[in-house]
Structures are given as C-alpha cells and as structure tokens.
Structure 1
Amino acid sequence: MYNTDLPTRAELPSTGKLTRSTLAAAVVAAALLVTLVLPAEYAIDPTGAGRLLGLTEMGEIKLQLAEEAELDREASQAASTSSGEADPMASSTSAQDEPQREASQAVADASSSQEEAPELSEAVATWRDEVSFTLTPGEGTEYKMTMEKGAVATFAWISEGGAINFDTHGDGNGNSISYQKGRGVPEDAGELEAAFTGNHGWFFRNRNDNEVTVVLRIDGDYGELKRML
C-alpha cells in the first residue's frame, strides 16, 4: 500500500512544456560551452567573454602544458630508440625532432651574431623594462607586452641556474601565433615584431630539479609589460 498520491493526467507536464524546457536547456548548455568551456579548455574564444573572465589564458596555459608534455614524450622516445644504435645522433634526422632542430638553429644563429658584434645588453644603452623572477622546479610563468601590429621590441633574457623551456608567442582579437620555441635554452636575444595588435611575449618553464632565476630586459615600441600568471 502506497502513501504517495500519483499525479493526475492534468498535473503532468504537457509535450509542449517538455519541448520548451529541453530547448531552453540546450540553449543554456550551448552558451556555457561557447563562453566558458571552449575558452578554458581549448583557448577558443569566439565571443571575447573568455578573455574578460580570464578563462582564455587558462586554456592557453593548458595547451602549452600539453604541448610540452608531448615534446618531452617524443624526446624520451627518441632517446630510447637511439640508445641501441651505434650513432647516437641518428635519431636527430627523424621528422619529430624538426621543431627542436629549428629552435636550436635559431639560438645558434643568435649566438653567432652576438659573437661578431657587441652583446645586445651593451648595444642597448638603457632598457625600458627589466624584470627578474625565480622559477621553482616545474614552475612556469608568462610575460607579455601590449603591441600594435608591426611594432618592434628588442629583448634579451638569460636563465641563471639552468637552461629552461620557452615559447615566444602572441594572441589578441581572435588571433594567435607562435614565433619561436626552445627546450633547454640558457638565453636568447633579438627582436620581436608584432604580427597583429594584441599581447606578445614569452612563456617560460623550469624543467630542472633546482630553482632558476630569469632576467628579462625589453626595449622598443610597446605599451605595457605585464605578468600574465
């Protein structure tokens, strides 16, 4: 014997009410997907709301971490493959190492140009901004400049205590670009020309077992230097 009264047919929601409720739920879910989930998870921000809420930067960091993890996995796989070969450099000719070779070549070119001319830190009499920060093992941080399209900033950074990973990139107004990436790089210097109006700068990560201190110096045509995280 049940004590609960069963609803009558008149008390049950109609098909029209159920349809409207389903459509309303679908609209709300789509709005949350576009304004919250896509920016936070994939750095896709078609409405601009994610940037205002700080979710797009969260998504960019997640993508950078995932890319770093993939690079570490590929490097470990390449190392294990080459360990049984007579020539330890043979694996460097594989396609998966092409990004690392390009980054290394860029750093080598920058180093050779610095040997032929005075150091960049000496060539620039005064730096507009100079920041120093310490990264614990596994920690990452990001510094960006607000720049107009075509603006050029001169930079020089050095890592004391160990080489680090970096990604020079930019984003803004729905655009994104990666200028240069490097793994295990102790220093870098050169010029950064903004491909579009937005935020442009560096993401640094310490993959060492000890703390490292990074000194970043910048000069040129930009609005503001700010730490993003």
Structure 2
Amino acid sequence: MQQTVLLSTPALIKYTLLSFIFAAAVLLIIILPAEYNIDPTGLGEKLGLTVFTQTSTNAINTNLKQPVQNATNKPPVTIEVIVPAGRGVEYKFVMTQYQKLNYEWQTNGSLLYFDLHGEPKGDTTGYFESYAIATLETMKGSFTAPFSGSHGWYWKNTTDKPVIVTLIVEGQYISHRLK
C-alpha cells in the first residue's frame, strides 16, 4: 500500500525558501570564489577555491604582457662580426622570456672560443647564465630565452689574425647589436 504525503502551503513555502538560502550559500561560498575569484565571505580562500582562478588569471595576464614581437618570427638576418686578433667581442639579442631564436654561425676557417649566454634584464650583479661553451669554427641550433634580458655570444680569437664570423639568425627578439 502506497501512501501519498501532501504538504501544506506553509510547508511548501518553507522548503522553497530553504532551497533558495542553500543555493545562495553555495553560490557565495563555492561558485563565485572558484569560478570568478569573487570571495565575499572569505571562505572560498580558506577552502582553497580561489587558487583556480588566480592561476588562470595569472596565465592570461602573463600572455597579455608579452610584446607583439613574441607573436611572429623576424625573417632571417645575416650579420658579419669581425673578431680582432687576440681579442674578444660580444654580439647580443634583447629578448623577452620564452622568445625563441634559431641561429647558425661559421668562421672563415679559424677556431673560436665562444660562450653562448644570457644576462637578466636589470641585473647589476654581473650574473650571466651560459648555454653552451666550446671552441669551434661553426655551430647551428636554437634556444629559448629562459628570462628577459640580453642573450648572445662572446667569441674570443686566440690567433694573430682577425676572424670573420657570419651569423644567420631568425626568430623572436626585440633588437640586436655588437656589445
């Protein structure tokens, strides 16, 4: 035998109001902090819900802060660098973090000591990070800037004659120059 329970009008109004209160509490405590980073009660942060939107907001803001040069590759450029006898020179590219540069360089037949490295933007301590160090007459590769700053080569000529380096680059950078 089945029983049917009929609720009175005051009981229906009571349960409807309780449902709205429950929905409002879920909205304020869980949905707004997790989805929109709006936390009027402060409970969303205590529950760890605001972390989701802070991460995605930071990722979006980071992408928006990257310069337009990061979006497109510059066409190949050929640069001749003369390294005087018994001396060293640096050739640098100013790049923002995560910009990529494809390169190929070769000498006119002489071996050169080189250090491919980068220096962080605004650093005054003299810090630099080396990516490759060797003595070669040619090299081809690519690198992605791990931080914003100047990145490039220091070539040292230990011979008694000038050495000409032909550098071909393409990629993402703001500017380049002999340093």
Task: Give the TM-score normalised by the residue count of structure 2.
Answer: 0.53
Is 1:199 the counterpart of 2:150 in the alignment? yes
What's 2:96 paired with?
148
Q: CA deviation at 1:159?
A: 0.7
**Structure 2 residue corresponding to 1:209, chosen from 152, 160, 165:** 160
Residue ranges of structure 2 left out of the alignment (5+ in a row): 1-73
Residue deviations 1:45-80 (CA, integer Å, cap 9, x gap): xxxxxxxxxxxxxxxxxxxxxxxxxxxxxxxxxxxx
CA–CA separation in structure 1 for the residues paired with 2:81 and 2:97: 28
Check conservation: 1:152, 1:194, Cα contact below 8 A. yes
CA–CA separation in structure 2 for the residues paired with 1:131 and 1:146: 16
Where in structure 2 are the equivalents of 1:132-211 lying within 5 Å? 132-171=80-119, 172-174=121-123, 176-183=128-135, 185-211=136-162
Higher-helix-fraction structure: 1
CA–CA separation in structure 1 for the residues paired with 2:169 and 2:152: 10
Q: CA deviation at 1:128?
A: 2.9
Residue deviations 1:145-181 (CA, integer Å, cap 9, x gap): 1111111100000011311010000112325211111
Identity fraction in percent: 27
Q: CA deviation at 1:127?
A: 4.8
| Bigger relative contact order (CA 8 A; separation at least 6) | 2
Check conservation: 1:157, 1:217, Cα contact below 8 A. yes
Secondary structure of 1:128's partner? strand
4+ residue runs over 3 A deviation: none
Please tell me whether Structure 1 or Structure 2 has the larger radius of gyration of its CA atoms: 2
Q: Which amino acid letter does the alignment assign opposite residue 161 of structure 1?
A: G
Where in structure 2 are the equivalents of 1:99-118 lying within 5 Å? none
Check conservation: 1:147, 1:222, Cα contact below 8 A. yes
Higher-strand-fraction structure: 2
> Cα 1:150–1:192, aligned 2, differ >3 Å: closer, same or farther?
same
Residue deviations 1:108-157 (CA, integer Å, cap 9, x gap): xxxxxxxxxxxxxxxxxx95321112223212111111111111100000
Residue deviations 1:30-56 (CA, integer Å, cap 9, x gap): xxxxxxxxxxxxxxxxxxxxxxxxxxx
CA–CA separation in structure 1 for the residues paired with 2:89 and 2:138: 16
CA–CA separation in structure 2 for the residues paired with 1:220 and 1:177: 20
Task: Give the TM-score normalised by the residue count of structure 1.
Answer: 0.42
CA–CA separation in structure 1 for the residues paired with 2:75 and 2:139: 16
Check conservation: 1:127, 1:217, Cα contact below 8 A. no
